[in-house]
Amino acid sequence: MILLFEEYQYTNADDIALIKQCVDQAYLTETASGVKAGCVGYFYCTNPKVNDVVFVLPKVFIKEDGTAFGKYKPEEIIKLDSLSDKSLNDEKETVFELSAWLYQAIAHFVERNPETEIVRMSDVQEVASSKGEKCETYLDIILQLQKFQKEHRHLFTFISIVNRIGSHKINWNKTVRKVQPFLQDGTPVYMDFYNKTKSINFDEELIVLFYSTLRFLQEKMRFKTVCDLCYDLIPMRKIESMIAQGHGTRRLRAIRKKYFTDELVKLWNLLYVFFEKAEKIASGKYHEEKLLAVKFNIIFEDMIDQLIGGNEGNDDLLRLKHQKDGKRLDHLYKESSLINNGGEIYFIGDSKYYKESTDLGETAVYKQFTYAKNIIQYHIDIFNENKQYPDELQYRDELTEGYNITPNFFIRASAIKKDNSLYGYTEDGLKNEYDDDVKDKQNKLVNYHFPNRLFDRDTFVLQTYNINFLYVLAHYVQGADKGIQQSIRDKFREDLISRFNKLYDFWIMAPKSKDIQSAVDKHFRKILGKVFRPYQNENDNLLILALEKLSAEELKDESKREKHDVETIELLKELQEDFIVRPHRLGEEPSMYHLQFVRPYSFENEKEKFNELFQAAESPAVYGKQRIYLVGCYKSKEHYNWIKNNKLYNVRLGERRGAVNENDSFVVCATHLVLYNFDNPEEFEVWRLKDEPKVSDKEKMESLDYPNPKGEKYLLYGLKGDPVEMEIDLPKFLKDKKVQKGSQLEGAPVYVTGGSLF
């Protein structure tokens, strides 16, 4: 097995000679000091001096110090099979597994993009695989043999058991006729026996050949396989001899008509194709085969897009990805706005297939800001034509003339951990590169026209991520499900929110009078670009105010810090003349609850005013404790399925036991539902609630197929998203509230703050 790395410069004369024998000149870049392979993929080199499999791995497996997998110089492992070091066994298995994933990824890209010009394939013999597709290469057949073994182990076990039933029973007729017993106390005793014999079992012959072939390939290609059946396998040297002399296909033809089950016929076909191809290679009559990508960065973009991208059939999405100025966005999808969960906004991503040491250039950053500006302009144009934004998208607020935050991020591949071990295929390795609050290190990823105006049209903040290349690779080949896609998107959103909370202090405001327009106009010059209305509803008067924090360096300057604090307090005191102002954290759903329950500020004590201000604005624990949780149960599986399918939960209104008052502030402001099993409270889920519960009657509940509605009036809460994980000692809580099973108020709904619940 020959192992090369994309874009790595090999300088040793022997290595250069070997690479030139293996790789076509079209894929090589020669320099004064060496040679590079400008491709990724697989090919079988039939050059008599090589006659071996060649894998070219992506450059992400070369660390910034030039080591492959963080351990070896690429020159040291170019001939992987020639290395006898036992410590390399795991790496050899890893290389084959990784190469197989890459091979399948390139093939999958060709399926998705049949007109592509970045993949080079040779025209080789085609055979039907076990899944009805075409196996085009030697590697294809090996992968299909592996797959067949994984999927049919039960079949092999069954055949082995059936064929051994009765094989050890004594044939008494033959034993009595041919064995001389000796007498003991008048009873004949037989020392030897004849067992029942069977004719040659061709099922087992095929299975023995199959497992012997797998063991041969395991040693040759370095992959894992297990034979847990008691068979005497054919020695490796005999398999090699069968291939060299053409005996493998000859033996398979001799037993061809001995099989009737579909599985064994399929296995016979796979083995025949393998031996036929292996024999041609051994005889020198086989032409070179390859599957190579010359621009793997394009395949990486497609891998990321399948993992996190939007709906490819959406016309608006396609139109936005291909912008009027000829630019093409790598990734674009619609997700909940950063300022509230009700509205939506486009998330703009750009994947960069760099080595880890390569930093983002100014051109890439500038282009990403341009993409965001084009997206905003597109929606402003729609508004100018129709006087409304499409599909509840919130880009511009007409009241405050503020612009929503447009999420922007880069995503880059990494494969090696800090301890120089490879990531696994199941860990996403998603890491925010700027997970600190030192703004000075982040300035080049921040764009603005006017300082301290988050909601200005020209203010953008970029986030940069590393993601595990192997995780992306596996999900590209297997297909990422919606749950994985959503978890990645949630990570982006949560990190962006966290970063904005590090860069800005947020406040929620509501006018003291009903005339919000006059209140905004009075302070317009001082709050332009700093406020935004999260809900584009004329009846909703909530506003969000964002004020920029000082950087770590600026905080060291006492005069700057005091000037910043005084300006902030003066602005807040001025706004408090016409608005109720309370601290807020981005990511929390803006609601009247914050204005009702979070304590107001008092700036009369000059000595403590700064500490009080920033402590109140920074403490996330307050909000977790002050959320209102509805703790409610379901009493049957039918009830639970109705709740989950309809994304609704109901409580009864009125005066009867277990009913609630629809005007109670806790009832109106509930933010989460703790939904538990009445018969087993240790089984529970925590759901986020939509903002406004709605009153419903019995007739409406019946129309929704609610199981057995007994009340006349209900309050319906909408559930959103998926359940979130929380640790709660719920049985103890229910017992403390005296609503546990068997109590007088069993199953009654409970409204409680997070502080009391936790």
594: closest CA among 478, 469, 691, 494?
Answer: 691
The answer to whether 481 and 304 are in contact (CB under 8 A) is no
Q: What average pLDDT is seen over the chain?
A: 78
213: closest CA among 180, 260, 247, 186?
Answer: 247
675: closest CA among 736, 722, 625?
Answer: 722
173-202 pLDDT per residue, tens:
777 788 888 888 878 887 776 665 544 454
Identify the helix (H) or strand (E) that includes residue 336: strand 331-336
pLDDT at 313 over 60: no
Please tell me which of 83-92, 311-320, 475-484 the model is most confident about, judged by mean pLDDT: 475-484
pLDDT at 266 over 50: yes
332-376 pLDDT per residue, tens:
888 888 888 767 888 888 888 765 555 566 667 777 777 778 887
Residue 640 confidence class, pLDDT cut points 50, 70, 90? very high
**DSSP strand E in 515-595: where?**
531-532, 543-548, 579-584
CA 88 from chain center: how many Å? 30
Q: What is the DSSP letter of 36?
A: E
* d(C-alpha 136, C-alpha 289), whole Å: 9
The answer to whether 268 and 213 are in contact (CB under 8 A) is no
What average pLDDT does range 524-549 have in this prediction?
A: 86
640 or 387: which carries more pLDDT confidence?
A: 640
536: closest CA among 670, 648, 390, 332?
Answer: 390
What long-range pairs does 209-213 form, CB within 8 A, spacing at least 24? 209/234, 209/251, 209/252, 209/271, 210/145, 210/149, 210/267, 210/271, 211/149, 212/239, 213/145, 213/239, 213/271, 213/274, 213/275
Q: What is the DSSP letter of 423?
A: P
Q: What is the DSSP letter of 328?
A: B
What average pLDDT does range 441-447 have in this prediction?
A: 60
Pick from 95-99, 117-121, 202-206: least confident: 202-206
The answer to whether 227 and 150 are in contact (CB under 8 A) is no
pLDDT at 9 over 70: yes
Percent of the chain with pLDDT over 70: 77
pLDDT at 664 over 80: no
Give pTM, 2 decimals: 0.63
Contacts of 261 (CB under 8 A, 6+ apart): none
> Which token pair is 529?
């670009």
3-state helix, strand, coil in the chain (%, to 5): 40, 20, 35
What fold does the segment set 627-757 form as a domain?
ph1033 like fold (3.10.590)
The answer to whether 225 and 149 are in contact (CB under 8 A) is yes
Beta bridge partners of 631: 674, 750
SS (H, E, C) 84-149: CCHHHHHHHHHHHHHHHHHHHHHHHHHHHCCCCCCEEECCCCCEECCCCCEECCHHHHHHHHHHHH
Q: Which pLDDT score, from 0 to 100, does residue 614 have?
A: 35
> Which token pair is 43?
């090919």
512 or 643: which carries more pLDDT confidence?
A: 643
Q: What angle do CA 78, 80, 81 make, to 5 degrees?
A: 140
The SS3 of residue 43 is: strand
Q: Which pLDDT score, from 0 to 100, does residue 624 have?
A: 42
The SS3 of residue 583 is: strand
DSSP structure string for 599-663: PPP----TTTHHHHHHHHHH-HHHHHHHSEEEEEEE-SHHHHHHHHHHTEEEEEBSSSTT-B-TT
Amino acid (one-letter) located at 187: T
pLDDT at 593 over 60: no
* d(C-alpha 83, C-alpha 71), whole Å: 15
35: closest CA among 7, 54, 60, 63?
Answer: 7
118-176 pLDDT per residue, tens:
887 653 333 333 333 444 566 777 777 777 877 776 666 555 555 555 555 677 777 77
Q: Which pLDDT score, from 0 to 100, does residue 717 have?
A: 92
CB atoms within 10 A of CB 46: 16
CA 309 from chain center: how many Å? 11
667-692 pLDDT per residue, tens:
777 888 999 999 999 999 999 888 67
* d(C-alpha 37, C-alpha 27), whole Å: 6
pLDDT at 46 over 80: no
Percent of the chain with pLDDT over 90: 11
> Which token pair is 712?
């006349």
* d(C-alpha 747, C-alpha 338), whole Å: 36
Q: Where are the domains of the chain?
A: 2-122+290-294, 137-162+200-284, 627-757
Pick from 105-109, 276-280, 636-640: least confident: 276-280
